[in-house]
Amino acid sequence: MRLGVDLGGTKIEILALASGGHQVLRERIATPQGSYEDIVRAIADLVHSSEKKLGRKCSVGLGIPGAISSKSGLVKNANSTKLIGHALDKDLSAALHRLIRIENDANCFTLSESSDGACRDAPAVFGIIAGTGVGGGVCIEGQVLRGSHNVAGEWGHNPLPRPSLAEVEHAPDCYCGQKGCIESWCSGPALMRLYKAQSGLTKSVPQIVEAAAHGDAIALDHMEAFYDRFARSIATIVNVLDPDVIVLGGGLSNIEALYHELPPRVEHYAFTPEGPSKIVKNRHGDSSGVRGAAWLWGEDEVALGRPRG
């Protein structure tokens, strides 16, 4: 039995997967807003209480909104800033008396969809989470590709490709310190901000999409610009990795028009003379991050009772 834990800024979710990816337990608690130590204790308590309910000891994988530095072994790039600079994998392993695995949440999403989700038979998968931010992950043959600095897939902080003069002139500041990152143009908050600048109206992303569907000229123009920017950004992934499938997750993946608007535009911008790339919606929705954390331990490893390799 494998436990996956998804650590977010407001909630910690746990899920148990039996063989074949069958879900047997799922719970969530509020993330402690106190110290780092409180967070470690809360995760350990959640694992122990789940194991008590399941009646067995399990493997544990954890998804976090950040990465473990390959150089220092400490958490970096986390928007949950309490984690930064701590050896979370070591501290949690000590608290649980076992080896645990930690992975970036976008990598967990990609692993989940690659393992038993929307692209389970695809050798090379690029997963995109587009919501509050824009992140990504890479899975090759069902394994997460971390890269030598644990930042593989962090394409949301590349600059928007092929920018117009206006996009250069109005490149938004990004929290990472750069200007004009893909995330600062294509995230949910960016969509809302740009629509407000154009229309003077405050609308949620679903409201903007609905207004476009009803023929609202400003919303149509705005969504057209969004599809074009998103397609330019995805085209760079195609030119570098040429994945068999690109799977979309996060709140923006619920925009159904993406799946017919993006492929021809990506084909136009990418160096792909043999047809459009396959862009699909995720299978597991909000569960994908926590499922991917559980998949950090393979079924073969759990069956053998030891890590492979």
The dihedrals phi and psi of 150, each to the nearest 5 degrees, come to: 60, 30
How far apart are the C-alpha atoms of 27 and 31, rounded to whole Å? Answer: 13
Closest of 239, 253, 236, 257 to residue 288, by C-alpha: 253
Contact flag: residue 174 with Zn ion (CB under 5 A): yes
| Residue among 157 and 203 whose Cβ is closer to Zn ion | 157
Contact flag: residue 212 with Zn ion (CB under 5 A): no
Least Å from the CB of residue 183 to Zn ion: 5
Contact flag: residue 108 with Zn ion (CB under 5 A): no
Restricted to residues 51-80, the positions that interact with Zn ion (CB under 5 A) are: none
How far apart are the C-alpha atoms of 226 and 161, rounded to whole Å? Answer: 13
Contact flag: residue 157 with Zn ion (CB under 5 A): yes
In order of 112, 185, 277, the CA distances from 260 in angstroms are 24, 20, 11
Least Å from the CB of residue 176 to Zn ion: 3
Angle formed at CA 224 by CA 178 and CA 246, multiple of 5 degrees: 70
Site size toward Zn ion (CB under 5 A) is: 5
| Residue among 126 and 155 whose Cβ is closer to Zn ion | 155
- Applying CB under 5 A, which of residues 62, 138, 139, 181 lies at the interface with Zn ion? 181
Give the three-class secondary structure for 258: helix
Least Å from the CB of residue 62 to Zn ion: 25
| Residue among 153 and 292 whose Cβ is closer to Zn ion | 153
Encoded tokens for 295: 């998949």
Least Å from the CB of residue 242 to Zn ion: 24
Cβ atoms of 171 and 179 within 8 Å: the answer is yes
Under the rule (CB under 5 A), what is the footprint of Zn ion? 157, 174, 176, 178, 181
